[in-house]
Amino acid sequence: MIDLRSDTLTLPSVEMKEKMLSVKLGDDVFGEDPTVNLLEQNTASMFGMESAIFCPSGTMTNQIAINIHTQPGDEVICSRESHIYNYEGGGIAKNSGASVRLIERNNGLLKHEDVLNNINQDDVHCPRTALVALENTSNRGGGVCYSINELLKIKKVCVQSEIPLHLDGARIFNAIVEKKQSPKSYGQIFDSISICLSKGLGAPVGSLLIGNEQFINRARRVRKVFGGGMRQAGIIAAGGIYALENNIDRLVDDHKRAKTIANSAKKCSWIENVIPVETNIIVCYMKQDKSNIAFIDKLEKDGIKCIPFGEGRVRMVTHLDVSDVDVNQVCEKLNF
């Protein structure tokens, strides 16, 4: 089966598992797991930031950041398409008592004027705008990326209004390799960054939240409250260290493969349109008289799995466990 439902489906390679079995462990809640400490230090310095904290999931790193940046009753500016709004179980409200100010942009990428126009005045009637949260790459936008130039403009608006800027960088390395950016440029722009090791990078578990020392000290307290303190977590952190050392540069291969699939998808008679592919996500819009579920069932019978992505839409994602041979097979099967 060629599984294109998500880049979270990858299985750890033999080499990654060997690394996981070979590392030194300790109790990370006591701060004594040397492998977790190494992963946190390496990641913080990669982004030129002071500190990092290892957590079980990207949902947790985002929710910890939101919890620290906001007070109950505050408002978070984010995209209507964002993961923090759509797919974190209402955690912004439930965990932090904050509400959202949703920006409508089909590709999920905010513009600096969106931020500027949606910051509330200092007025007792209005919720305090406490945080701007961006997502890069934008999952529901079809894996599209921000330019550093636009991020700098957004940063300027945030600095002028003294509002912190958070990045959901679940797929930040896809953007970094595709746009030939540097992690340090992100470290200079954002107050906090969440990165995932278990998406395109192919580790089985784990995300990191990066920020300054004071912020990460506060994050350690919130992680404990959220039940995310892990004990001998070095065994999974080792998979993350392996992923950061070996699986970043190869993401360009996933992007090439996604573009190849998109080119075939465009010729498929059931598909109306494919969002231009920038990274590893392909989003197809079905023709009016064709059902996305029927399309998915049809491909599944041919040994290919993909996932519905809203009405009339299908998502396919390339990743570490999808080869050139698999891509050729997908392209052949899309020829109907």
Ligand X SMILES: Cc1ncc(COP(=O)(O)O)c(C=O)c1O
Q: How many Cα atoms are found within 13 Å in the side-chain-facing hemisphere of 83?
A: 23
Q: Which among 22-30, 51-59, 105-113, 303-311 is the span making contact with ligand X, rule CB under 6 A?
A: 51-59
Smallest distance from ligand X to CB 162, Å: 26
Q: Does 58 bind ligand X (CB under 6 A)?
A: yes
Nearest CB to ligand X, comparing residues 77 and 119: 77
Helix (H) or strand (E) holding 42: helix 34-46
Question: Which residue, among 203, 246, 196, 252, has the nearest Cα to 11 in the 3D structure?
Answer: 203
- Give me the residue whose beta carbon is nearest to ligand X: 58
Least gap, CB of 234 to ligand X (angstroms):
19
Min CB(290)–ligand X separation in Å: 26
Give yes or no for residue 96 binding ligand X (CB under 6 A): no
Q: Residue 167 has which token pair?
A: 């990045």
Contact between 109 and ligand X per CB under 6 A: no
Q: How far apart are the C-alpha atoms of 292 and 282, rounded to whole Å?
A: 14
State the nearest-atom distance from the C-beta of 83 to ligand X, in Å.
4
d(CA 201, CA 180): 17
For 227, residues 6+ apart whose C-beta sits below 8 A from its C-beta are none
Please name which of 55, 195, 78, 60 lies closest in space to residue 134, comparing C-alpha atoms.
78
What is the per-residue binding string for ligand X in 191-230, x denoting contact by CB under 6 A?
-----x-x--------x-----------------------
Q: Give the nearer residue to ligand X in terms of CB position, either 268 or 283.
A: 283
Distance CA 183, CA 194 (A): 12
Q: Which residues bind ligand X (CB under 6 A)?
A: 8, 57-59, 62, 83, 135, 139, 168, 170, 196, 198, 207
